């Protein structure tokens, strides 16, 4: 009797379905054209640093934001630091899009993208007193200055290391052959550790620049289709020998410590951690003092401030703090990279630190290819270079 199906609730369901359709229509029509007008010219950098807001939310690489230098910062400025560690530049770009963070330590393969996406604001370097004494070959670089406008404060730079277990890998390699040359790499099949991001394609390109010069590769981040495909093929060959693709530092540390991998690309951070535990690691250039024959990819990181950051004053205080001589020395020694601040070289615990890390040798860095964002427009007048989307898609097909 009461089980007459339908009419009352059916109407309700139809109304609901209609609501969902309307939502879709709104979403579809919102912005009939593209939203690529983000970034740059209409933003203003801060004009004056005011009182600290009491809180600071950062995104950073592992080892960049540690209590050793954040606690004094908090005491002095009252800005409580909350840090989210990201493993890749992709993660950082994504996190910045949420608008929840005040600043990020960005590498060159993230800076251009964030500027274009409008998630970061220009930096008024006049408000950062310690900027004056930053190394001059870090200022106004293509990865931190766009259309003549400064977008960040240099943090430090380093080369990606070739690290190996000296008990298992003999003789000590002086070239990336050990990871790319099929004959040599096959000896360590299943024991090779590779960085899990599309930027690694540049490492293959850099290898080809040295070993196959007729490909004509100049900048490993600016590759036309032929050069790109050569790099992809090299990486697909390498895939058969790879033991692990890593993006979290601790994952790589445990892999090396446990003997799952014996050779790979890494950062100083992992190298230090393994040495501390007594693991028999060597690395180039860290323990050898020189780069592999072909050079190395690397990074030069920049602290960027979010557009419409919730705590801009604290962020400016941070940017000034992190390149103050003492703090920059501490972070450089902790992570294992060359400091951005000239005066930091006098503050390092190890008096030879800056020398060991070539902080004052611009020539050394000419063979280090800092991470960059691949663009279609690669400065040769043509726009036929592979762009970031191509790199990411290729990386997926390399890993299989």
Partner 1 sequence: MASEAVLRRRSAGHRLAGLFHGRRRLQIGALLAGPIGWLVIGYLGSLALLLVAAFWSVDPLSGLTVKEFTLENFEALFNEPVYRTIVWRTIRTALLVTMTDAIIAFPIAFYMAKVASRRGKALLVVGILLPLWSSYLVKVYAWRTLLSAGGAINWALEPIGLHGPGYGTTAVWLVFSYLWLPYMILPIYAGLERIPNSLISASEDLGASPFTTFRRVILPLSFPAVVAGSIFTFSLTLGDYITPRLVSNDQFIGNVIFSNIANNQPFAAALAMVPIVVMIAYLLVARKLGAFEHV
Partner 2 sequence: MMLRVAVAVGLAFIYIPLIVIVIYAFNSSKILEWPPPGFTTHWFSQAFKDEAAREAFFTSIKAGIAATAIALVLGTLASLAVARQRFFGRETISFLVILPIALPGIVTGVAISNTFTQVLDVPLSLFTVIVGHATFCIVVVYNNAVARLRRLSGSFEEASADLGAHTWQTFRYVTFPGMKSALIAGGLLAFALSFDEIIVTNFTIGAGEQTLPIWIFSNLFRPHELPIVNAVAVVMVLISIIPVYLAHRLGGEDAGAPGRGGGGVETEATAVP
For 221, the token pair is 């981040």
Element housing 159 (H / E): strand 153-159
Q: Which stretch binds partner 1 (CB under 8 A): 15-23, 73-81, 199-207, 348-356?
A: 15-23
Among 101, 195, 221, 371, binds partner 2 (CB under 8 A): 101
| Interface size with partner 1, residues (CB under 8 A) | 55
Is residue 258 part of the contact set for partner 2 (CB under 8 A)? Answer: yes
CB of 334 to partner 1, least distance (A): 25
Among 1, 15, 20, 27, binds partner 2 (CB under 8 A): 27
168's contact among partner 1, partner 2, none, with CB below 5 to 8 A by partner kind, is: none
Q: Which stretch binds partner 1 (CB under 8 A): 123-131, 137-145, 224-232, 381-389?
A: 381-389
Say if CB 370 and CB 299 are below 8 A apart. yes
Is residue 112 part of the contact set for partner 1 (CB under 8 A)? Answer: yes
How many C-beta atoms surround the C-beta of residue 189 within 10 A?
Answer: 11
Burial 347-370 (b: 16+ CB within 10 A, else e): bbeeeebbeebbbeeeebbebbbb
183 to 179, 188, 189, 237, 398: CA distances (angstroms): 10, 10, 10, 11, 20
Is residue 349 part of the contact set for partner 2 (CB under 8 A)? Answer: no
Say if CB 295 and CB 25 are below 8 A apart. no
Is residue 362 part of the contact set for partner 2 (CB under 8 A)? Answer: no
Closest-CA residue to 86 (of 120, 57, 59, 56):
59
Say if CB 338 and CB 156 are below 8 A apart. yes
Is residue 397 part of the contact set for partner 1 (CB under 8 A)? Answer: yes
260's contact among partner 1, partner 2, none, with CB below 5 to 8 A by partner kind, is: partner 1
Is residue 184 part of the contact set for partner 1 (CB under 8 A)? Answer: no
| Residue ranges binding partner 2 (CB under 8 A) | 2-3, 5-10, 13, 27, 55, 57, 62, 82, 84-85, 87, 98-101, 248-251, 253-254, 257-258, 273-274, 277, 279
């Amino acid at each position: 009797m009461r089980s007459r199906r339908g009419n009352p609730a059916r109407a309700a369901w139809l109304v609901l379905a209609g609501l969902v359709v309307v939502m879709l229509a709104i979403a579809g029509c919102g912005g009939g054209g593209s939203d690529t007008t983000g970034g740059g010219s209409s933003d203003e950098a801060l004009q004056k640093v005011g009182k600290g807001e009491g809180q600071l939310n950062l995104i950073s690489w592992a080892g960049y934001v540690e209590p050793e230098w954040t606690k004094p910062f908090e005491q002095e400025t009252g800005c409580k630091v909350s840090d989210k560690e990201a493993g890749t530049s992709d993660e950082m770009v994504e996190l910045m899009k949420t608008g929840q963070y005040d600043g990020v330590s960005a590498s060159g393969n993230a800076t251009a993208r964030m500027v274009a996406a409008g998630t970061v604001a220009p930096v008024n370097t006049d408000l950062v007193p310690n900027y004056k004494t930053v190394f001059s070959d870090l200022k106004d670089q293509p990865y931190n200055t766009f259309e003549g406008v400064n977008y960040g404060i240099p943090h430090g730079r380093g080369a990606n290391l070739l690290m190996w277990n000296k008990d298992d890998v003999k003789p000590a390699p002086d070239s990336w052959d050990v990871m790319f040359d099929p004959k040599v790499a096959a000896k360590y099949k299943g024991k090779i550790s590779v960085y899990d991001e599309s930027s690694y394609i540049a490492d293959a390109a850099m290898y080809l620049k040295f070993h196959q010069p007729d490909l004509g590769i100049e900048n490993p981040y600016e590759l036309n289709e032929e050069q790109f495909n050569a790099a992809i093929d090299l990486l697909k060959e390498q895939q058969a020998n790879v033991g692990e693709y890593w993006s979290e530092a601790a994952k790589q540390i445990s892999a090396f410590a446990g003997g799952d991998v014996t050779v790979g690309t890494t950062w100083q951070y992992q190298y230090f951690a393994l040495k501390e535990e007594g693991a028999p690691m060597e690395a180039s250039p860290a323990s050898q003092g020189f780069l592999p024959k072909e050079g190395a990819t690397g990074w030069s990181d920049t602290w960027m401030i979010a557009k419409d950051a919730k705590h801009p004053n604290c962020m400016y205080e941070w940017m000034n703090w992190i390149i103050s001589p003492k703090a920059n020395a501490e972070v450089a020694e902790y992570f294992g990279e060359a400091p951005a601040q000239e005066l930091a070289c006098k503050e390092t615990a190890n008096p030879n630190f800056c020398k060991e890390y070539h902080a004052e040798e611009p020539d050394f860095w000419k063979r280090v290819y800092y991470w960059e964002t691949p663009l279609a427009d690669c400065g040769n007048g043509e726009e036929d270079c592979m762009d970031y989307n191509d790199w990411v898609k290729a990386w997926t097909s390399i890993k299989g």
